[in-house]
Structure 1
Amino acid sequence: MIKFEPKERIKYSDIDKYTIQGFIYSILENDSFFYDYHDNVGFKFFNFSNIFPVSDFEKNTLKKLIISSPNDKLIKSLYKQLKNKTFFRLKNYKMELLKIELLTNKNCSKFISSTPIVLFEDNKNNQYYSFKKNPDFNFFFERLKDNAIKKYNAFYGYDFNLDSELFTNFEFGREVSIRLTKNNNKFIVIGSLWKNLEFNLTTQNKDFYNFLFENGLGEKNSLGFGFLNCRK
């Protein structure tokens, strides 16, 4: 968790997901192991929260950002490089770094989505799954399960398979559309927010669900989508 204060007033929308992703990559570029992580083909195993509280950046007002990853080396690299910094920049905006903390994982049995969960319905045509167009929970959770297992096995080199449903109980929140800009090109990402994603935590699946908690659910985790919190 990074705690910081802006040194000027900034609109919340001026700091988007690409800004935060770029900030993370810029730190990793200084690490001899992760310097080319941005160029690696395949999954990028990290995720991040929204900057919170979700409100405009007021001068000298506390803001927080959580970065998570199943890769301990990546998290320790970020921590090591940030802990001695006094200031950093998001875009060209100066931020004063107040504190950086290493957080411990929580073995919870309920998730809540902190940022929208994104899935492709047709990735060849860059078409995102939309409940408004196709309200099929079975399709969504089967695709979500396949995606989660594929990433877990890719990270650990396992041949794990989950025999049960991904979640035993769920409570849908709402569908959202997020406008993003990259290289002056504007596009929309469609995702969904969930009030409850419940599962049976066992000795056999504990590592799998811990991986999901640290890596996120769905597509585009390294762009800050599918970030999870434990639900009490």
Structure 2
Amino acid sequence: MGLEILNCCHPKELLVFKKKYLGVFILGYTIVFFASNWFDPRQIQIFGLVTGAGSIAFPLTYLFSDIITEVYGYKNARIAVWSALLFFLIFILYGQLVVALLSPYSSSREALVAFLYTNNRIILAAILSYFITETMNSYLVAKLKILLNGEYMGLRFITATLTAYTFNEIIYAPIAFYGLIPNLEEFIYHMFTSWVFMVSIELLFLPFSIRLAKYIKIIENLDIYDTKTNFNPFSLNTQYRKKNNKSKKTK
């Protein structure tokens, strides 16, 4: 699966590059994903809007995803998604092990169990919505880049993110907060405020993400276009042809 491209082109056509900062972006992406889901049960109020604490950090996952896709291509963004998910699952399994182990202080164990039970719902919702919407976001960034010939980066980023945010709330909120929010009106209000809050953060950071993406393209000498890419989210192939790189330095 990861070597599928080798069957369709000569090795000399393959793009070889060092990916100097890709690991940094994947690490940042993973940390932000952890933080957004771990703290989301905590409800906060900012400028009159009530939302989960994870809403502050979660939009940054899309910022990282946008930049990875724009510079390194969809295939490397897909690896970032899988990497974050794998380490998150390991983290959760360790939490379950901690709960299973005996503690000399029953009250502390009960508090931890209650906390993790609430978080388990968040975690289940996060895993389902995360995999679907993060993959969707990267797919849209990659496809819009081809459609618009690499122009209008800000429009491409915000279009992909708004679409992904909408689907994220539709998938995530019912699983994470069903029964915890007393009535339908409050539930819809929570979904709407979370969406507004996350979109606002995305818009706030959009100029920065555009500048950073352009800067990293120059540093890495990369500008990947996902032409003829297999967008199967379960593929682990990260190889590109040289002609997929449209960096101005290579022209």
The structure with more helix, counted as a fraction of residues: 2
Higher relative contact order (CA 8 A, sep 6+): 2
Q: TM-score band (shorter)?
A: under 0.3
Structure with higher strand content: 1
Look at both structures and tell me which one has the larger radius of gyration over its CA atoms.
2
With normalisation by structure 1, the TM-score equals: 0.25
